[in-house]
Structure 1
């Protein structure tokens, strides 16, 4: 796995078009990368290995799907352990896809606390006593306060399911670990600031997990429940909120399909009166019957990306003294969403003023009429943005909503029209249209 994670925000300046008496555009999309950080880690090998604790260095990074959220937004976070501090604690070669990682991410700055993340059961083969491979874990948190919020990698656990069920927990020696990512949240009216955290991000079927909540209604009864995707499981428990808006309860998790845990006020789940899901994984400890073989596979998550058919757009010419609409078509943009998970995407654009021979045409005079098509078989359905001005502040070109199952391939187009003033000096005018995918 590469030593950096590309954010789901792309920008790279692709070019500028010179046009006779009209204007031209160029598409842009720059890319950023999260920061790898090193921190001292204390790992405890499984007791059966008979090994002393391991004090080493972990290299990790944090990436987010939104670096500029508003208060009340949910941010999806990916915690990647690029280089674990621990090795395979046994002399046995470990096969592929027997590792299930879980961990925590620590928040600082304008918002403090931590939340759980979990990864899929996926890994390359590990030789006996060899270094564990890189792995990634994802989770979400809700923004409750405006300002700069820092994200640091926290404790993590490597669970292996091969012959025996073994855990190798690794904790940050001097918490918090260095900051890997910083986001800037803007003020808004939070509809719901309730939040929960888990005592553990994983366990065996039948284990109990501690669920702690904050910002709930004082004195209210709260339901704790397991989630399998977007569906609630049969695993539930109750707790009562204290006078300070906090609670702590215990939930026994039996359903092996559990992917998260929620807490809510009222008789049924409501996003307005609940919090979560917090990521949680149930370890599969089902023994293989004699004479049988357990077959496993994995689906590898991909990335959110965009490409375009070209980097220049030539708009039609207009006459001096008459002006009017200088028209053309956006170079087709192809969006591929192979991340998996519940997050949709948004493709936005903004344009600079069009500059020419001693004059300019204001960015607000460029408008578009977006169109979006979804490739057959895609779980998501692309929605075109509204027709209207693009301008320097930007507008939405296309998007897909969050959902239970998301992803697919999409093509995005738009008719372009620049309203050129009647007596704009003759010459070539050019501007840059920047597209951002998040």
Structure 2
């Protein structure tokens, strides 16, 4: 079964005036170092139930629109103000509610009411407020999305509440099905007289309701179907619970046993739900069955099928008198990845001269315990670096040289990706080929080098690196 993981980056560094930027992957000319980081999250094949939200009624009874939720806002220590507990009103919107897998979706997080106040005892001038926050993703693609806003605001009276503000960010759709979006924590950074942050956190016991949801379709030519078995073995006649995702919503699906490339007599019919999720029970009686597949249409094909998922039929033949049968089951696991850290500093680059900021991503450990025939691929995508005053460093200027080491005893051999730019189109970091039996543990890394143009404005520059394991 395909497992996907995403890495997002977060680093907080001080600006030239002693200020701090919201958490993000950063590159910084001269004194503060450029940084690139990543945070992984595993996307599950089965969809999760969305939370309720106040808003207009949608098809199927789902609600979206403006939502209210409890927040705890902590003024900076320099302000001498007590924390503020209250209600935030916000709205999440997307530019494309029906994307395809592989599409980039732009998300806008707009706060219309907040308990946060101007931390100064003087007026906060126009264009001195910079917001940043998180959008919580759910459904078939759980995780967090970082959003940021421009440095823009109307004047705010001393100790007065802030007016409405908006933050935007993007994410790449990796699975077909429903994806929910809910407001998360946000921070208001002010840069007048001194650099100050007012973080507002969502009540963990009562998360914000879903404010927006989208339905993603499979990309043309891309097969996102996957299945998993509740048990990897059983005696003849045992029922196997099969869970799948990525199928065409409402499609008729055949679940069948398989021996090598041929199907066995074991067969069941099922229907994918409105999210493309499959639930089926397959009775396995054929002792030749060694795997289970699921497919749409008249027969299994790589374009319209999922699996094979390994399955073993245990022998039920009567034992000779005076004998005992000893057996053991090797249970398959999953495809996972972990990282050694979240913050990676690139070497500083002097203002006016420009040059190359160098570093290395934190080590990523991939473990493949599926025991099937499918290899895996770890890819990466990188956004542009954004900085103070709307400054930008082209993300295509960052190149990596991947490396990959296979742990001794692993059935598969890890192959590093080709050195070159990462960019928004993405590049392969490492992978293993398909084989009769795959698996093992692998250590993946990459040296990175970012080209910073001369006279790039000083300050912290942030980018987002997304790693996907499939």
Q: TM-score, length-normalised on structure 1?
A: 0.52
Check 1:387–1:113 CA distance in 2 against 1; reply closer, same or farther (3 A cut).
Answer: same
1:285 corresponds in structure 2 to 316
**Partner of residue 203 from structure 1, selected from 281, 285, 293:** 285
Report the alpha carbon displacement of residue 108 of structure 1 after superposing the two structures with TM: 6.4
Contact 2:412 2:439 in 1 (8 A): yes
**Structure 1 pair 401–76 and aligned structure 2 pair: CA distance change class (3 A):** farther
1:296 offset after TM fit, Å? 1.1
In structure 2, the residue matched to 1:77 is 227
Q: 1:11 to 1:258 in 2, by over 3 A?
A: closer
Partner of 2:385: 354
Residue 423 of structure 1 and its aligned partner are, at CA, apart by 1.4
Q: 1:153 aligns with which of 279, 301, 306?
A: 279
Gaps in structure 1 of 5+ consecutive residues: 1-5, 38-60, 82-95, 120-138, 140-147, 158-201, 206-255, 263-270
Secondary structure of residue in 2 paired with 1:11? strand
Deviation at 1:418, TM superposition (A): 0.5
The residue correspondences of 1:206-221 to structure 2 (distance < 5 A) are none
What secondary structure, in the 3-state scheme, does the structure 1 residue paired with 2:442 have? strand
Cα distance in 1, alignment partners of residues 249 and 334 from structure 2? 29
In structure 2, the partner of 1:102 is 240
- The CA distance in 2 between the partners of 1:277 and 1:332, in whole Å, is 30
Tell me which residue corresponds to 1:115.
Answer: 254
Distance 1:393-1:357 versus aligned 2 partners, 3 A rule: same
Q: Which residue of 1 aligns with 2:462?
A: 430
Change (3 A) 1:259 1:78: closer
1:115-165 deviation digits (Å, cap 9, x = unpaired): 32569xxxxxxxxxxxxxxxxxxx9xxxxxxxx9723213443xxxxxxxx
Q: Which aligned pairs between 1:8-87 and structure 2 lie closer than 5 A?
A: 8-11=3-6, 13=8, 15-16=10-11, 18=13, 20-21=28-29, 23-33=34-44, 34-35=46-47, 67=176, 68=218, 71=221, 73=223, 75-80=225-230
> Within the alignment, does 1:386 sit opposite 2:418 as a pair?
yes
User: How far is the alpha carbon of 1:398 from its aligned partner?
Assistant: 0.7
Cα distance per residue 1:57-97 (max 9 Å; x no partner)? xxxx999x96556537484311549xxxxxxxxxxxxxx97
Alpha-carbon separation, structure 1, partners of 2:306 and 2:414:
26
Which residue number in structure 2 is paired with residue 251 of structure 1?
A: none
Q: Cα 1:108–1:9, aligned 2, differ >3 Å: closer, same or farther?
A: closer
What SS does the corresponding residue of 2:3 show, helix, strand or coil? strand
Matches within 5 A, 1:106-185: 109=248, 112-116=251-255, 150-157=276-283
Partner of residue 125, structure 1: none
Which residue, out of 311, 319, 334, partners 2:342?
Answer: 311
Corresponding position of 2:124: none
Residues 117 and 151 of structure 1, relative CA distance in 2, 3 Å threshold = farther
Query: What secondary structure does 1:342 align onto?
Result: coil
Runs of 5+ consecutive residues of structure 2 not aligned to the other structure: 14-26, 50-138, 142-173, 177-217, 259-266, 268-273, 295-300
Question: Do 1:204 and 1:285's aligned partners in 2 also have CA atoms closer than 8 Å?
Answer: no
- Would the alpha carbon gap of residues 302 and 281 (structure 1) be closer, same or farther in structure 2, given more than 3 Å must change? closer
Aligned residues: 268
Q: Is the 8 A contact 2:257 2:289 kept in 1?
A: no
Tell whether the 8 Å contact from 1:204 to 1:284 is kept in structure 2 after alignment.
no
SS in 1 for 2:441: strand
User: How far, CA to CA, are the matches of 1:20 and 1:377 in structure 2?
Assistant: 42
Quick one: distance in 2 between partners of 1:422 and 1:287? Answer: 80
Q: CA deviation at 1:346?
A: 1.2
**Does the aligned pair in 2 maintain the 1:101–1:118 contact within 8 Å?**
no
Structure 2 distance, partners of 1:331, 1:277, is: 32
Question: How far off its partner does 1:304 sit?
Answer: 1.3
Call closer, same or farther: CA 1:351–1:16 in 2, change over 3 Å. Answer: farther
Is residue 444 of structure 2 the alignment partner of residue 412 of structure 1?
Answer: yes
What value does the CA root-mean-square deviation take over the aligned residues? 4.2
Query: Structure 2 CA distance, aligned partners of 1:72 and 1:7?
Result: 13
Match of 1:339 in 2: 370
SS at match of 2:278: strand
Question: SS in structure 1 opposite 2:396?
Answer: helix
State whether structure 2 residue 401 is matched by structure 1 residue 369. Answer: yes
